[in-house]
Every structure is written in C-alpha cells, then in structure tokens.
Chains A and B, each alone.
Chain A
Amino acid sequence: MSARFFIPGDAGAVAVGADEVATAFEAAATAKGLTLDIVRNGSRGLYWLEPMVEVETAAGRVAYGPVSADDVPALLEAMLAGEPHALLLGPTEEIPWLKRQTRLTFARCGIVDPRSLEDYRAHGGYKGLENALALGAEATIEAVVQSGLRGRGGAGFPTGIKWRTVAATQAEQKYIVCNADEGDSGTFADRMIIEGDPFVMIEGMTISGIAVGATRGYLYIRSEYPHAVARMEEAIRTARAAGYLGRAVAGSAFDFDMEVRVGAGAYVCGEETALLESLEGRRGVVRAKPPLPAHKGLFGKPTVINNVISLATVPIILAEGAAAYRDFGMGRSRGTMPIQIAGNVKHGGLYEVAFGVTLGELVDEIGGGTASGRPVRAVQVGGPLGAYFPRALFDTPFDYEAFAGKDGLIGHGGIVVFDDTVDMAKQARFAMEFCALESCGKCTPCRIGSTRGVETVDRIMRGEDREKNLVVLEDLCHTMKFGSLCALGGFTPYPVMSALHHFPEDFGATTPVLEAAR
C-alpha cells in the first residue's frame, strides 16, 4: 500500500500525542510488513480533533480524529480494509468547520509537507514572488495598498502604506523584520503558519524586501515556540540551498537573505520598537515614536516591521491580485482574519474567515459553546490587553472599527472563552498583575500604575472603601490609557474596565474567600 498518511507535527497536535500516534502507526505497519509514507503536516486548525490523522484516497483526503496511540492498530486495520471506524470524520474538505472557512492566508496550512519546497511550489508557492518581480517594486507596493491589508498584529495600520514609507526613505541598508513574538494568550496563528507553511514567510519577506529595497530580514520568534524556531530555520536553509534566498533571489536581479532570532521571554518585545531594541541586543525597552521604524528602525535604518500574518498574506495578494483579496470583508477591514478560538470552548481552533462574522457566531455556533458545558459568561478578545465581552455584546461584528466602537480591540484575533465559574474581579487583577510583570519600565503610568492597579483591585475585592477605590481604579486606568508610551500600559485598562463595567457584580463588597486565597 503506497497511500500517504498525514499526522500533524504541529506543536498543538504534538502536545496531545501526535508523535506517539505516528510511532504507533509505524509500529502497526511494521507488524503487518508494510511501510507507510507518513507526512508530518501542519495542523488544519481543528484542535479539538487533534491528533487528526488523514489518509490519501482516490476520493481525496479522509480524516480521523482525535486519534490516540491506543486506537492505532484497529484504526489502521479499518483503513486498510476500507471499513468504517468510530473516529472517521469523512473527507477532510467536507468537515463543516473547515468547509465554511475562507482559507487564503492558511490555504496550504495542514495540507502541504512543511519541509518540502517542491510541495510548496506545487500548491501555488512563489507565484506571488513571480508576479511581484514582473510588476516591479512600485506596482507591488501599490497592490498591497489596494488590497486593503492592515497590520494583523493588532494595530491595524495599512501594510502597504508602511512599505511605501520605507521605499521612499533613502538608505544604504534597509531591513525587513517579521514580528513572531506572539505573546497574547489565546493566539496561535503565527505559530501554526510558521510550523505548517514556513516557506510562505520566506516568500512574504522576500517580496517585501524587493519592494522596499531591503536586502536583509529578521524573523523574531518567541522562545516559547521551539518547534516553530526549528521548522523556520530548516526552511530558510532549504530555500537558501535552492536559490530562493541569498544573491540573485530566484534568478532575479535582487539579493535578499534572512535569519531567525529567538526572543527570551519578554512579552513587551511584541511591541515593535521593543522588538527592535531586543534584536539590537538590548533590553526590550519601548522607544518613543517618532521616529517611526519606517524612517529609523533596526540599527537606525529604515525598517519594515510587520506581523507574521500580514507578511504571510502578501504572497496570495500578489498571486491572486489585490481585488480578489479586497473583495472579502466589511467596511475598512478588508480580506480575511485567521480567528483563534480558544480557552473553555468545545470546538477550539483556527478559523479563517472574512471580516464581519459576529462574536456570537464565533463563540456559539463555530466554537460550539464551552468545553465544560456550562453557560458562556465572558469572552476576552485580543489577548491580555483585550476587553472582556459579555453576551450582550455578542452581536458585535469582527471588524477593527466595530470592536473599537465597543471599547475593545480585535488585536491578533484571539478569542478566549470563559464559562460562568469565572471571577471577573480576579481577571481584572490578573490584567494589572501581568502588566506589572511585563512592563519594560520606561514610562511611569505603566510601570507604577500597574502595581497600584493590583493593590487597588485587591482593596475593592476586600471591600475596603469600595466606592472610593472604584474611582481610583477608573482614574488609574484613564492615566494608563492616555499616558503610556505603548499598548502594554495603554491597553491594560481594556480588560480591567470592561470587567468592571460589564460584570460589576463580581466587584462586590464581600469576597472573604478571595481574601483568604491571597
């Protein structure tokens, strides 16, 4: 039997036993005197079904999951005999959760062999670079502008405008920096695409480099992602050996090369200027802007600094055309967003869809409600700096402006679901505590405000001068929001104030249990 088996090598699948499943398949095959062709693909993003094993059949790929190592002998037996099995999910592409998505950025993720450049090319890889080279630098930038692509890291700044600024700035050396310091809890899109489709990062950064006149790129990955680091480094070596990095990239007149740099466990380095400081070898302390990184970025040189998902989306924009991408979405939020549904949710995973889907659809229909089976009480959108949304706001469409209008943010697209056992005062306290732990210390509102914030929430939770301390907390949040240098101090008030406004009952006067736990 020469069928190919797909067992994800994605860290999320490995964390729930994918390596053991792969070993069990090999052992079961050996026992039968067979050799299997096992591809360690990326994840399709249906994490509640991981490890999800696929087998190639005449009718396309068929999925089974969640598979445990103990299931394997009987499962292989059923697969070989073409008999049904309890874990059969059917043709992968027909699984409704996957079928309803619009996979543009993640088109190849989970499908290709992430180690294979040939597979990448066979699935449309490097078509974007080819078109970019044919268009020339100016038209490439124009295509990115026209696509409406905005920074997927969270700030939502138009990517093409950033590129245009760097292109217009004269310098002997310019840089492309990719921000893969994905520190927000509830987000894993960067990790998933780097592990599942690493060559798209190389192609995206190469297109960016050629467009703005940069010859060097750095991909800064957080140290908490060792699998992504290893996969990306291997892909860079492969691309370099094939002439896709280095001198005269892909036979063109342009040089571009890149390397991976690993973070060291500082959340604030996800802030672009702190990341640049870190790359330069210093403490990850935020820089004041201006100057913008586009004018004076890495080592003082003009620098494009973009999020992983922004850069990973560039190749498909160039391959399919700006209009094809812009046609998706709503308002000023164009294209698709890989939304990550996580936490206490039944069907958690990565769901790429055009902007405009409502929070309620994402949580109740797509996410299927909580994993615990209890009612959904709150949803945090956009990581530790994102607001907590109550059910009353579930009609909010997923869109940069719509979320801002509800005093929230979509950030990097992570949604963390909480059931009715959550204590929102505790969550507010954690937001302040996390800010205090991770503050770079440069500006006072963040450095001191966060510590005073923890103390004030504690007083409220203890019922000490409750009314007075609520005023102090509001005032503190106001100062942090408008007086902090970057989003860490500036956005920490979002989870705190949203918890307070939407769930005031949790900030009640009598909470003796919590005091005892302190």
Chain B
Amino acid sequence: MNSPEPWSAARAAEIIAAQLDCEGPALPILHAIQATFGFVPEAVEPMIAEALNLSRAEVHGVVTFYHDFRRKPAGRHVLKLCRAEACQSMGADALATRAEQALGIRFGETTPDGRVTLEPIYCLGLCATAPSAMLDGRVIGRLDARRLDRLVSETQA
C-alpha cells in the first residue's frame, strides 16, 4: 500500500485549490484528501468550508454521510469482505465470522497493532464469482476458508 503523507495544512490547501475549477468539487476534494492523508482529518473541514463558501456543518455532514470517508487513519492493510446477498448465498457470513475470529476484531475495527482494518462492503460486482473480497484495493473472488486464511496471513507479514 502507498503510505499516507503526514497531515499538512499547506498540502491540503493545494489539494483543495487544484479541484476548485470543477463543478461540484466537494467529493473530488474529499477523495483527494483521503488519497493523500489516508483519512479526512477534522482540520480540513473548515478549510473546505471556506473554499466552497459552505458552513462547516455542511462539510461535516457530507464527510459523515458517505461510508468511504474515514474520520481516522485505517490500519496498514484494509480487508473488505462483501456482505451482500450474492455473497451470502455462497457462505459469506461464515467467512465473515472466520475473519473476525482470525483477526480478533469486529467489522469496522482496526487491530490494536494497527496492521489491519476489517470492513464490510456491499457488493464489488463480482457476484458470479462469489464470495468476494478486496485487500488493499486488490479484488479476490471465489473466496473460501483457505483463501481467506491466506489473505489474513498476508496482512500479518
């Protein structure tokens, strides 16, 4: 994974400025901020509000509405397991429990050592090769206990 940059207000200001020409720039700005810093720091909200002539509450509302935007950094690896119906039909619930047990955390949590964040995802569009997962942006289909264990051990390396 690309390691995120440490927070810098100057860098954030550059990112915001770079998107100002597009129509409806809020989501592109937030995506770019998260791509750079690994999450959306609270300190960036007033900066975006100022640049887009919005209230801070409006920006905060946008950040918290979307599941993608993180309020704090994720673990070094992010493992997402699809929890939607097509994957359920192929045993995704049992794999989800297995992943929680193997990592010792629940969905939405990060291991205490900061190695892995486990997240649910609702459909990767890989429904004909279910169950599916995504590890650090890499897609995995036909997941089974053996493949899941391998993914988990990859995160421990």
Contact = CB atoms under 8 A, between A and B. Distances in A.
A137 interface: no
A278 B61 CA distance: 12
A11 interface: yes
Given A12-B126, A226-B137, A281 B90 contact: no
Interface in A182-237: 182-188, 190-192, 223-227
Nearest to B121: A224
Contact of B62 (A184, A283, A299): A283
Contact of B127 (A187, A226, A265): A187
B89 A264 contact: no
B127 A188 contact: yes
Contacts of A414: 86, 127
A299 B137 contact: no
B24 A184 contact: no
A267 interface: yes
Interface residues of B, number: 42
Given A264-B27, A371-B90, A430-B88, A188 B126 contact: yes
B127 A16 contact: no
Contacts of A384: 84-85
A20 to B, nearest CB: 11
Contacts of A344: 89-90, 130
B28 interface: yes
Contacts of A419: 89
A348 B27 contact: no
A47 B52 contact: no
A155 to B, nearest CB: 19
Interface stretch (A28-36, A79-87, A335-343): A335-343
B58 to A, nearest CB: 8
A95 interface: no
B92 to A, nearest CB: 10
B103 interface: no
Q: Which of A226, A259, A281 has the most CB of B within 10 A?
A: A281
Contacts of B140: 15
Interface stretch (B9-17, B66-74, B110-118, B148-156): B66-74
Contacts of B90: 343-344, 371
Contacts of A97: none
A188 B85 contact: no
A176 interface: no
B35 to A, nearest CB: 11
Contacts of B25: 281
Contact of A343 (B31, B66, B69, B130): B130
A348 B68 contact: no
A348 B24 contact: no
Contacts of B87: 185
Contacts of A225: 124-125
A185 B88 CA distance: 10
Contact of A266 (B67, B130, B132, B139): B67
B127 A340 contact: yes
B44 to A, nearest CB: 15
B86 A342 contact: yes
Interface string B53-97: 000001001100111110000000000001011111110000000
B128 A340 contact: yes
A418 B130 CA distance: 12
B23 interface: yes
Interface string A415-434: 01111001000010010001
Contacts of B58: 282
Contacts of A422: 89
A101 B87 CA distance: 26
A509 interface: no
Contacts of A48: 128-129
B125 A343 contact: no
Interface in B12-55: 22-28, 30-31, 52
B128 A12 contact: yes
Nearest to A417: B89
Interface in A47-61: 47-48, 50
Q: Which of B22, B30, B68, B69 has the most CB of A within 10 A?
A: B68
Contacts of A15: 124, 126, 129, 132, 139-142
Contacts of B121: 224, 265
A265 B129 contact: no
Contacts of B88: 427, 430
A144 to B, nearest CB: 26
B141 A12 contact: yes
Contacts of A417: 89
A262 interface: yes
A280 B58 CA distance: 13
Nearest to A48: B128
Contacts of A47: 128-129
A16 B27 contact: no
B123 interface: yes
Q: Which of B31, B65, B127, B142 has the most CB of A within 10 A?
A: B127
Contacts of A50: 129
Interface string A77-112: 000000000000000000000000000000000000
Q: Which of B61, B82, B142 has the most CB of A within 10 A?
A: B142
Nearest to A281: B26
18 contacts: A11-B124, A16-B141, A183-B123, A185-B82, A185-B86, A187-B125, A223-B31, A261-B24, A266-B67, A279-B24, A283-B61, A299-B23, A342-B127, A384-B85, A416-B86, A416-B89, A434-B84, A438-B122
Question: Which 6 interchain pairs have the tightest Cβ spacing?
Answer: A281-B26, A348-B128, A185-B84, A15-B141, A264-B66, A342-B127
Interface of A: 11-12, 14-16, 47-48, 50, 182-188, 190-192, 223-227, 259, 261-267, 278-285, 299, 340-345, 348-350, 371, 380, 384, 414, 416-419, 422, 427, 430, 434, 438, 440
Given A344-B90, A427-B85, 9 more contacts: A11-B124, A47-B129, A48-B129, A227-B139, A262-B27, A265-B121, A282-B62, A341-B128, A427-B88
Interface of B: 22-28, 30-31, 52, 58, 61-62, 65-69, 82, 84-90, 121-130, 132, 137, 139-142
